[in-house]
Structure 1
Amino acid sequence: MKGIICEEIGRFVFREDLEEPQMGEGEAIIRIRRIGICGTDLHAYRGNQPYFIYPRVLGHELAGTIERIGDNREGLRAGDQVSVIPYLHCGHCRACRSGKTNCCQQMKVLGVHLDGGMRERMAVPVSNLIRTEGLTLEQAAMLEPLAIGAHAVRRSGLQSGDQVLVIGAGPIGLGVMAMAGYAGAKVIAMDVNEERLEFCKVWAKAEHAVNALQEPKERIARLTEGSFPAFVIDATGNASSMENAFELVGHGGTLTYVGLVKGTITFNDPDFHAREMTVQGSRNATREDFERVLAALAGGSIDLGSYITHRCAFEEMIGQFEGWLLPETGVIKALVELD
């Protein structure tokens, strides 16, 4: 079986002798057809990804078809097109029992803690599959990154008509903007890249775009008549941005971190208390978030045509990957295709 392994920091190896997956109880064998490349994969390749051990088969934005499956309550059958929920939860810890499977105490993420989908076939628990009939394979592969944004939006508590500042216009931030717009919110996009900010206005339909290098606090104050947004979602994974975000939240507002940084975040406590802010993290996504994105895509509310900017065949990925690390290549989302 063909596969690509990240042997160590900065080195992929293409193999044609990987062992075929064995179907365990409650599992299905999935033929992988599309693999999205995300920040986790890039950070793992560079050596900046927390919780990571090498060697590892990367890949957790996955779409494919079922090759083998037993009887199951979900009604899935061989031949069905599916998307993979890559978060394997225990089902027994307090978080799982309360429905927060996305932050399971024993969480194992495919492509991070366990080998992922950069291979021709893999075994996946049936409970982690979503039938994607009516979607393209490309759309099915994008359920996962967009579900991250859907979860952050749901966790923030914003409602239709609310104003939200989304900081960071990478793939996850763009997903946050798109799903916030789908929820009926008015989006202010903030980033350091003018071209990406223009993309936010066109693709994510952001109402306003603010350059983070050009007096952002003053600009946001003007846009909100001095009150600042009640909801701020930071998707940068940058410590400086995450700390500065405290100053951009309105009194009584909520700051949600969907980006992850290896380090410590600090803030001014008197200012934090004066605003009675809520600060929270947003991790992964649940089946509910995947299903919400599926509905948005099926209904035509989100167009992935310009979101997926780069594609290549599976055998070409190693040669293309270094280029996807360079900002000048204009990568938003890269997709790897398997026949």
Structure 2
Amino acid sequence: MRAIQIAEPKTLKRIEIDAPASPTAGQALVKTHRMGVCGTDISCYLGKFPFFDFPRIPGHELGVEVIAVGEGVTNIKPGDRCSVEPYMNCGKCYACRHGAMNCCQNLKVIGVMTDGGLCDSFLVRAAKLHVSNKLSYDQLALVETLAIGCHANDRGAPGSGEFGAKDHALIIGMGPIGLATLEFAKLTGATISVMDMNEARLDFVRQNYGIENTILFRGDGSEMERIAELTDGDKYQVVTDATGNKHSMASALNHLAPTGRLVYVGITTEEVSFKHPTLHRPEATLLASRNALPPDFTRIISLIEEGAINTDPWITHRTQFDSVLDDFESFTEPDSNVIKAVIELS
């Protein structure tokens, strides 16, 4: 059976693996039709992701077809189209017992900590499959990315504001996770600003989301002038940093209004440091956002089906399974202006 493996940093290898066995109780055998390439996949490929071991078959943003189900499975049936919730939690640890399955102490994310879906077919827990026979495989492969943004937005919880006025939220980094956060921030009614160092990404947001409050980060302090202009000097009630860049993450506190909330959704392996008064002076709340929760997947599928989320602008690049080894490196290059690349397996 065909598969592609990240053998070592910056090295992809096409391999042959055994076909999976028949599904046992609680399992499903699924065929991969689409795999989305996300920032995590890029970081794993570059050798920069903290939870990744080589070699590994990647693939956690997936649109799949159910081929067979094991004993006791009732939530899906052969032929169903599904998105995969890739977070394999233990169900027994403190986090799982308290409803935070995304923070499971024994968590295994497929495609990161165990082999993933960049192969013809694989076995997965049936409970981790979310059905929509209305959505395309492309759309289903986008659900996991959107779920990360959904959870990050919920952590910051922008909205109408404590004193009646709308919250003003800033999202830093307009890659896929920042865009996913933006999708859900828009649904809250908050006023939104976005920041990036790539003008093309800001153009993308203006053209596809109608966001005019854009801030180009040049590293010369001009962003602070723009923030003061956009907020009348008040700064932001909610800031979400989706960059995974230690410098951006450290300076994000400077953009908070008093009593504001800062959400880190991007991940870095480096130290993030700031002087304590930067956190203490505004009585800031510092939050992390990790993965997503099962209800996020159900909600997102419904929103896409209803047309409340339009996925059409998302996929900017495509490749076929047989071309992945040739094309993947280009997805890591900033000049390629990739928002979301999708691998077609069938």
Separation of aligned partners in 2, 1:182 and 1:202:
18
SS of equivalent residue, structure 2 residue 258: coil
Q: Distance in 2 between matches of 1:151 and 1:91?
A: 20
Show the counterpart of 2:67. 67
Question: What letter matches 2:47 in structure 1?
Answer: G
Distance 2:56 2:24 in 1: 21
Quote the residue 1:334 is aligned against. 341
SS at match of 2:262: strand
The percentage of aligned residue pairs carrying the same residue is 38
Residue of structure 1 in register with 2:183 after alignment: 178
Question: CA separation in 2, counterparts of 1:279 and 1:73?
Answer: 40
- The structural deviation recorded for 1:223 is 1.1
Aligned to 1:296: 303
Indicate the residue corresponding to 2:20 in structure 1. Answer: 21
Take 1:236 and 1:130, find their aligned partners in 2: how far apart are those partners? Answer: 28
TM-score (norm 2): 0.95
CA contact (8 A) 1:181 1:205 kept: no
Cα pair 1:165 1:229 within 8 Å, conserved = yes
**Aligned pair 1:325/2:332, yes or no?**
yes
Q: Structure 2 counterpart of 1:18, which letter? A: I
| 2-structure distance, mates of 1:271, 1:338 | 48
Residue-by-residue CA offset, 1:138-160 (whole Å, 9 max, x unaligned): 11000000110000001112225
C-alpha deviation, 1:284, in angstroms: 0.4
The Cα of 1:202 is off from its aligned counterpart by 2.3
Distance 1:245 1:21 in 2: 46
Task: Between 112-121 and 200-209, report the one with greater CA deviation.
Answer: 200-209
Q: AA paired with 1:332?
A: I
8 A Cα contact 1:150 1:292, kept in partner: no
Match of 1:191 in 2: 196
Partner of 2:294: 287
Deviations 1:104-125 (A, max 9, x none): 1111000111000000001010
Q: CA deviation at 1:21?
A: 1.6
The answer as to 2:314 corresponding to 1:314 is no
CA distance in 1, matches of 2:337, 2:51: 28
Cα distance in 2 between the residues matched to 1:134 and 1:171: 23
What secondary structure does 1:142 align onto?
Answer: helix
Distance 1:140 1:260 in 2: 24
Q: Partners of 1:12 and 1:41 in 2: how far apart? A: 12
What amino acid does structure 2 have at the position aligned with 1:305?
A: D
1:33 maps to which residue?
Answer: 33
Given the alignment of the two structures, is residue 136 of structure 1 paired with residue 136 of structure 2, yes or no?
A: yes
Would you say the 8 A contact 1:33–1:338 is kept in 2? yes
Give the aligned residue type for 2:295. Answer: E
Superposed, 1:210-229 pairs within 5 Å as 210-213=215-218, 215-229=222-236
Contact 2:171 2:194 in 1 (8 A): yes
Where in structure 1 are there 5+ consecutive unaligned residues?
A: none
Contact residue 25 and residue 72 of structure 2 kept, 8 A: no
Q: Distance in 2 between matches of 1:72 and 1:179?
A: 35
After the TM superposition, which of the residue ranges 17-26 and 69-78 deviates more from structure 2?
Answer: 69-78
The residue aligned with 2:163 is none
The CA deviation at 1:55 is: 0.7
The superposition leaves residues 160-195 of structure 1 with CA deviations (integer Å, 9 ceiling, x where unpaired) of 542210000111111111111123222101001111
* Partners of 1:88 and 1:108 within 8 A in 2: yes
Structure 2: gaps (5+ residues): 161-165
Alignment of 1:51-66 (within 5 A): 51-66=51-66
| TM-score where L is the length of structure 1 | 0.96
SS of aligned partner of 1:253: strand
> 1:130 offset after TM fit, Å?
0.2
8 Å CA contact 2:240, 2:264 repeated in 1: yes
CA deviations 1:276-301 (Å, max 9, x no partner) are 10001100001111122212211212
Pick aligned residue for 1:163 from 160, 165, 168: 168
The one-letter code matched in structure 2 to 1:151 is H
Name the CA distance, whole Å, in 2 between partners of 1:183 and 1:205.
16
SS class of match (1:252):
strand
> Partners in 1 of 2:91 and 2:273 — Cα distance?
33
SS at match of 2:259: coil
One-letter code aligned to 2:198: N
- Partner residue in 2 for 1:251: 258
- Which residue of 2 is the match for residue 269 of structure 1? 276
CA distance in 2, matches of 1:194, 1:330: 10
Q: CA deviation at 1:71?
A: 4.5
Q: Write the deviation string for residues 82-102 of structure 1: whole angstroms up to 9, x where unpaired.
A: 110000001111111111111
**Matched-pair contact (CA < 8 Å) for 2:147–2:292:** yes
Deviates more, 1:43-52 or 1:121-130: 43-52
Q: Structure 2 vs 1, CA of residues 292 and 163 (structure 1 numbering), >3 Å: closer, same or farther?
A: farther
Aligned length: 338
